[in-house]
Amino acid sequence: MANTTRQTAAITGAGDGIGRALAVNLNERGIDLYLCDIDQERLDATVAMLDTARSSVSTALVDCGNRAEIETWAGTITSENDRLDFLFNNAGVAYGAAFRDASLDNFEWLMNINYWGVVWCTKALLPLLEASPSGHLVNISSIFGMVGIATQSAYNSAKFAVRGFTESLQAEYRATSLTVTCVHPGGIATNIALRARTDGEASEASAEERDESFKQIARTSATKAAQVIIKGTLAGRRRVFIGWDAWFMHTLTKFMPTSYHAITTRLGSRNDDNG
């Protein structure tokens, strides 16, 4: 039977990091959850952290780089609900390589998850979001959706695309009950660097070394990030920045829109020296 009373939320990439923290936060608020992830073990670990007496929790194993799997998951949600109050397009992966060394297969792999997954999921669940009296579409971009960084051409491409896609939808739904929010996290202490793919010189460091180096500069916890996202979402904010580093980069691009690389390159070199 379709749910007509309780609030519902769908979260992609809910098996770890920000997605897991969002699930915990929303569960504490009594919001029924539809969670998906590509890894069943991580997804089960998230569910173990939730109080299923407080809200219902439905899980699905979904590769967000696969349109058919997303549409199947969305079909399940649609069959059980006549509306969806929150969609958090959170699933994401990382890939580091100078573009001359980049594998187009890896580039496409990242784009399918980080960009097309957002588009496919939004398209599939949009009718339910439109049916909510106060729907919220929340797309997770990145501060790398505002600044271009060496070895991040794939990640930058996807996150800039998510930003552009989201801001277009903000224009389309400006005078409706659907609020569209674009989130730009800075460094969040998750396992994204540990699981990243690399090519060329970027492959010289081990996954563990990349993870350690990343977490030295990723000072914001996933729990804090989820709190900021939920607060901004409920306030109807169109753009949410997470962390001082995100605010710094945003400010930098405002004052140095074509020359900020002089600063970001220097900061990157300093981080490499400290690592």
Alpha carbons 257 and 251: distance in angstroms, whole number: 10
The full set of domains in the chain, from first to last, is: 8-274 (3.40.50.720)
| Each residue's pLDDT tens digit, 34-81 | 999 999 999 999 999 999 999 999 999 999 999 999 999 999 999 999
Catalytic positions: 155
Q: Are 187 and 222 in contact (CB under 8 A)?
A: no
3-state helix, strand, coil in the chain (%, to 5): 50, 15, 30
Residue 167's CB: how many other CB atoms inside 10 A? 15
| Each residue's pLDDT tens digit, 204-253 | 777 776 656 666 666 789 999 999 999 999 999 999 999 988 998 889 88
Q: Rg of the chain's alpha carbons, rounded to an integer?
A: 18
Alpha carbons 267 and 114: distance in angstroms, whole number: 25
| Each residue's pLDDT tens digit, 134-167 | 999 999 999 999 999 999 999 999 999 999 999 9
Predicted pLDDT of residue 2: 47
Q: Are 219 and 185 in contact (CB under 8 A)?
A: no
| Each residue's pLDDT tens digit, 160-202 | 999 999 999 999 999 999 999 999 999 887 877 777 899 988 7
DSSP string, 111-167: HIIIIIHHHHHHHHHHHHHHHSTT-EEEEE--GGGTS--TTBHHHHHHHHHHHHHHH
Determine if the pTM surpasses 0.75.
yes
DSSP string, 18-39: HHHHHHHHHHHTT-EEEEEES-
Helix, strand or coil, per DSSP, at residue 198:
strand
The span from the first CA to the last CA of the chain, in angstroms, equals 55
Predicted pLDDT of residue 142: 96
Which amino acid is present at 19?
Answer: G
In 3D space, the residue among 87, 168, 152, 181 whose CA is nearest the CA of residue 125 turns out to be 87
In 3D space, the residue among 230, 249, 66, 215 whose CA is nearest the CA of residue 145 turns out to be 249
Q: Are 84 and 10 in contact (CB under 8 A)?
A: yes
Alpha carbons 162 and 184: distance in angstroms, whole number: 10
* pLDDT at residue 1 greater than cutoff 70: no
In 3D space, the residue among 157, 182, 18 whose CA is nearest the CA of residue 90 turns out to be 18
